[in-house]
Structure 1
């Protein structure tokens, strides 16, 4: 490790790695992390989970192992909604909330 340079993170590992559009990539990663947590808490098996969120088991497995680069934020929100999750979005400008919080509501079961 001699000679290696250690740098402090920017707070976004995807930016630190020089990936294109790191803010969106971080958002997708965080949504996948939430999706994984909900799936683990729900007790759904792979077949039921994949059927409920509308994707094949192998695709779901790939997604949860980090293969989400091409997955849209909208699709991830839809998956969370199908699992019964509400997602709140707030918009801030210069630290101040602009308008009301937007709720992406769960799909009724």
Structure 2
């Protein structure tokens, strides 16, 4: 359990940012000002497990995702962008502790086990 996991807010500007990244039809994470993960379908992708962990970082507050079919390269690109950026591979994903015990540290209240 995490003491300060916050509810993620869907953000349309992050969705647009993810779309711009996805439509380039590249199979690597781009150099963006936000955190990014992607999954390539119809192609082997060894880095998805690493990038999928972005979804659970307690430091991310917003998310925007998109699915884009790359017909010329014969794969589908699924990209999500997260904000704020700052999560680094190898660091702790979230702080262990009783549910919601740190919500006050981020000026939030506890609702359904999440800081909102």
TM-score by length of 2: 0.25
**Higher helix proportion (structure 1 or 2):** 1
Q: TM-score, normalised by structure 1?
A: 0.26
Q: Which has the larger radius of gyration?
A: 1
* Greater RCO, CA 8 A, separation 6+: 2
